[in-house]
Chain A
Amino acid sequence: MRFRRRSDQDFAAEVESHLELETDRLIAAGMSPAAARDAAARAFGNRTAARERFHESRGLLLLEQLMQDVRYAVRAIRRAPGFALIAIAILAIGISVNTAAFSVINTIMFRNFPGVVERGRLAGIEISRETEWGRASGGPASLAEWELFRTGMPAFSGIAAYGNLQLSVAAGGEPLAVRANLVSPSFFEVLGTRPAAGRFFSASDDPRMLELTAVISHRFWQRSLEGRSDIAGHSVTIGTHSFTIVGVAPQGFFGLSPGEIVDPDIGAPELFVPLPAARFLRADSGVADLAAVLDDRRLRLFGRLAPGASFAQALRQANAAAARLAAVDPVQRRNAAATLDPGVSGTRNAAEAIQGALFVMLVPAIILLVACANLANQLLARAIERGREIAVRLSLGPTRGRVARQLLVETALLAIAAGLLGVLLAWWLLDALRVWVLPIPFRIPIDLRVLGFTLGLALLTALGFGLAPALRATRTDLNRALKDGSPGSGQRRSRLRSALVVVQIAASLGLLAVSRVFVTAAERPPSASLDELAGHSLLVSVNLDLLGFDSTAGRAYQRELLARLGSLPGVTAAGTAPYAMFDMFGEEAIREPGQDTRNPHYIDLAEIGGAWLEATNTRPLRGRLFTAAELAARPSVALVDEVAGRELWGAADPMGHVLRIGDSTPSLVTVVGVIPTRQEVSFRQPEGLVVIPGTRRYSPHTYVYLRTAGPAEPLLPTVRQAAQGVDSRVPILWVRTLESVGAEAVGSLSLLASGLAGLGAVALGLAALGLFGVLAFLVAQRRYEIGIRTALGARPADLTWMVLKQALRLGGAGVVVGALLALAAVTLLRAIIHGLHPLELGVFAATALIMLLVAALASAVPARRAASVDPMEALRAE
């Protein structure tokens, strides 16, 4: 384009040359030079106006005005630094919570995971199947199924599989239990991961060359092998075999499942074992073939799209593979179909992702809303203080829009400052989250996307809390404002301010009520039987999975473990169950005999060994517990808790009823006792439990429950040593007190509850401040009226009541709106989170009462001010 921006000087020179030419003409027409010059200037008209229009045509004016506005705003902010600091602090809190929440969403949904390249081109492949009750997730794949999927899908440039394991690893010293991933040789290739040291395996490697090899995590390298540089070729003992380390995964690498690394029971994988090496994971001599080791379904599949291929093509090919699967296994994989999870975000579709994101952002958004309402209110109050200043500026010529824009620029500056502070706070918040709450092996980054989000949010909030005050402030009656500085349209203004206070009260009340629901869920009082156990109970977790124990050897080991731990001095009872206390027990299909055609009940089943009932302090409400003979024989008797009893037989007495447990090889058991319902700590309704002797099947993972005579904690090392002594090859996963197991189970829940309660308290404080501001403003506005009332004989008590009434009216409106809000929020949360209790009326009433009390307190100072209005002064001032 030929057009170039012209400078001011250039334009001035052009105008000058015009004037000279015109002067020349006028002189030629007979004028004197001086008169000609004047006439030329007159004919040209307003040179400044011409220059301004020149500016406008250049499009620079806006920018220049904006700079002016910014300078003006900075001056205005510096004149009232106290207000600015408070505003920035309040907003920064709101923005930081939102920024931190979005950072988490950003990491899970959008960012590449550590070491993973172009996550958007990856897709998780899930298999669903048809069941009697509709389509259900088919769960992970078996080794044979992985073989079916591995080929014949050209839309993927690579397919990989991984599964979780717990392995016992010794790098010189005692065996440690570590989380491991069993991975297809293509795993790292498909992810695009580069090793931090050594090399990775590849799909093109000879499978025999991969036997007895492994890759370790960066953390394992640093912690257990001192980060030695000659790591490749070094060996570690996994189970009973020596494995050669070929490489180290990059720092923070965890594969593709962020949900697992935040689960304290699972954590980030420390070891990556290629599938061809899996058969050496057995503790015996390693003669087993691969399929025998991996007889169960534990592999999760994913692939990387080939260049140019689409997810639609990939899905078609995956469905074809699923159809092959259904043909091979028409029972377990009936009408199998594939679903893709593009980007491996762990969500199956956009709606699910949005729902999750909304859930995470809900509370932060409420906090920000309260902060905005609060600031809008403060700005309205300030607009009244600044009424005269604004009126002067309006009368000096700039349009109302221009002045409103200047005010908006002021709020935008505050919001941007708050945004910067908010990012710092969020940084710290995420760090605290990582240290105190979630054991994430990498820090959740604040990247450009997050910064963009924060900036956008800051500007949006500036608009949110600044627009109404700016428009209000500039809609003044100039004459009145200039004359006495009192604001115009005061009635409407205070109505808006009252509405804002109601919003704040309602939102903070809603938040408090919701946090209360979580607190109730977290603080469900421990049952009496558990209370008695406190301080006198230990749990030991041992997993024989993949260690090469067949069921006979496994049972022998478990019996020996139980016997040794049970005979330790100080231990009064010892029993086993395949699940830890507070865990979700596995469900089993349970029917009454003769009702085969009906759908079975799915009820948690505890298959116990030893003195589990004594160790958990379980006493029968009715009937009796098991005899030693019953415990050792095939299951013939059962205990049911109250919930299971109600589910199976309603109000009828469960005693003496017969149950059929399991589908394939069912056991018939008779109910001999009723036990109390378990304490639940997760987000679930108390679920029923059926207890039977654990002789029906072998479970490689077992938990030993110990009850001690004295305090349990000092016994921890003794118990660990004794457990380790049973078989040195078997890692003891952990030995912990009942309290620490319970604390972990409720940990995230109570943290969420206290976090919510804290935020609710912050919101409540903000709301109280807002209420205080409005009342003070109303009192100031009604000084004249109050003066007259006092002059006419109103007593201080009447005036105090007048202000208090106003406070209670606002508080009451807030409580009503808040009640509706809380009801809606809890209903929504209960739809998303299983087993939250509905809002308790009493609790809500108490919270509402506190809110009204706060409202009354906030009115105390304004009320005193109203009562102390000197009628003479007030009337004279008007």
Chain B
Amino acid sequence: MPAVSHTDALLRGSLDLLVLKALSLGPAHGWGIGQRILAISKDALSANQGSLYPALQRLEHQGLVQSGWGDSDNNRRARFYKLTASGRAGLRAEVDSWRRFAAAIEVALAASAA
């Protein structure tokens, strides 16, 4: 499956959702989050690296994630992010609404195809 180019995918809302999802697997630094999104989408989605950080900043502002400096696996200093309790709740709500949205789109597309 070809990777969806990041200019036409990953609208702001879905980027936030993916970041939250990536962090639900455990704390990670920004680069790691990008890699993780790539991995969990089986290389289908690649986050624009430049837009990842404003998104993280936004989420931190909303209290959904929190961050602090730490050492990465290969001993680089990096800022690590982790989900907060409200981040976890937010993720659940986002996932639900995304699924409803996706299902609705699916129904609509199926109808037009018929």
Contacts and interface: CB of A to CB of B under 8 A. Distances in A.
A36 to B, nearest CB: 14
A1 interface: yes
B57 A54 contact: yes
A17 interface: yes
Contacts of A13: 77, 79
Given A17-B76, A21-B78, A3 B53 contact: no
Given A17-B29, A18-B53, 8 more contacts: A2-B63, A2-B84, A3-B60, A14-B53, A45-B50, A50-B53, A54-B57, A57-B61
A870 interface: no
A1 B60 CA distance: 11
B55 to A, nearest CB: 9
Interface in B32-50: 32, 35, 48-50
B14 interface: no
Nearest to A43: B49
A15 B57 CA distance: 12
B31 A18 contact: yes
A469 to B, nearest CB: 36
Contacts of B61: 3, 57
Contacts of B97: none
Given A20-B76, A21-B29, A57-B61, A46 B53 contact: no
Nearest to A50: B50
B53 A54 contact: yes
Contacts of A14: 30, 53, 78-79
Interface in A594-619: none
Contact of B54 (A3, A20, A21, A50): A50
Contact of B53 (A15, A21, A43, A56): A15
A22 B29 CA distance: 12
B74 to A, nearest CB: 6
A24 B66 CA distance: 26
A58 B51 CA distance: 15
B49 A22 contact: yes
B5 interface: no
Contacts of A801: none
A14 to B, nearest CB: 5
What are the 7 closest A-B residue pairs judged by CB atoms, nearest first?
Answer: A45-B50, A21-B31, A53-B54, A50-B50, A17-B78, A57-B57, A44-B49
A46 B50 contact: yes
Contact of A58 (B49, B53, B57): B57
A649 interface: no
Contacts of A54: 53-54, 57
A14 B35 CA distance: 16
A22 B48 CA distance: 13
Contacts of A629: none
A44 B50 CA distance: 5
B72 A21 contact: yes
A877 interface: no
A58 B58 CA distance: 8
A47 interface: yes
Given A17-B78, A57-B54, A3 B31 contact: no
Q: Is the interface of A mostly helix, strand, loop or mixed?
A: helix
Contact of A17 (B51, B58, B60, B79): B79
A49 interface: yes
A11 interface: yes
B63 A3 contact: yes
Determine which residue in B50, B51, B60 has the highest number of CB atoms from chain A within 10 A of its CB, and name it. Answer: B50
Interface in A694-736: none
B6 to A, nearest CB: 9
Contacts of A3: 60-61, 63, 66
Interface of B: 29-32, 35, 48-51, 53-54, 57-58, 60-61, 63, 66, 72, 74, 76-79, 84
B68 to A, nearest CB: 10
A25 B29 CA distance: 14
Given A3-B66, A24-B74, A24-B76, A18 B57 contact: no
B51 to A, nearest CB: 7
A56 to B, nearest CB: 8
B48 to A, nearest CB: 6
Interface in A44-66: 44-47, 49-50, 53-54, 56-58
Nearest to A10: B79
B22 to A, nearest CB: 15
Contacts of A57: 54, 57-58, 61
A2 B66 contact: yes
A577 B83 CA distance: 94
A1 B53 CA distance: 21
Contacts of A17: 29-31, 72, 76-79
Contacts of B53: 11, 14-15, 18, 50, 54
B30 A18 contact: yes
A198 B77 CA distance: 76
A44 B47 CA distance: 10
A22 B49 CA distance: 10
B71 to A, nearest CB: 10
Determine which residue in A11, A47, A50 has the highest number of CB atoms from chain B within 10 A of its CB, and name it. Answer: A50
Contacts of B51: 45, 50, 53
A291 to B, nearest CB: 76
A2 B66 CA distance: 8
Contact of A47 (B30, B50, B74, B76): B50
Contacts of A44: 49-50
Contacts of A43: 49
A184 to B, nearest CB: 62
A45 B49 contact: yes
Contacts of A15: 53
Interface in A435-491: none
Contacts of B76: 17, 20-21, 24
A801 B58 CA distance: 67
Interface string A1-36: 111001000110111011011101100000000000
Nearest to B60: A3
B9 to A, nearest CB: 15
A11 B32 CA distance: 16
B32 to A, nearest CB: 8
Nearest to B49: A44
A53 B49 CA distance: 13
A21 B48 CA distance: 15
Contacts of A56: 54
B67 to A, nearest CB: 9
Contacts of B78: 14, 17-18, 21
A58 B60 CA distance: 11
Nearest to B46: A43
A6 B61 CA distance: 11
A45 to B, nearest CB: 3
A58 B54 CA distance: 10
Given A3-B60, A3-B61, A53-B54, A18 B74 contact: no
A10 to B, nearest CB: 8
A182 B50 CA distance: 82
Nearest to A49: B50
Nearest to A6: B57
Nearest to B30: A18
Contacts of A21: 29, 31-32, 72, 76, 78
Nearest to B58: A57
Determine which residue in A21, A45, A58 has the highest number of CB atoms from chain B within 10 A of its CB, and name it. Answer: A21
A136 to B, nearest CB: 66
A57 B59 CA distance: 10
A737 to B, nearest CB: 79
B110 to A, nearest CB: 37
A38 to B, nearest CB: 14
A25 B35 CA distance: 10
A29 to B, nearest CB: 12
A50 B31 CA distance: 15
10 contacts: A14-B79, A18-B49, A21-B72, A22-B31, A45-B50, A45-B51, A50-B50, A50-B51, A57-B61, A58-B57
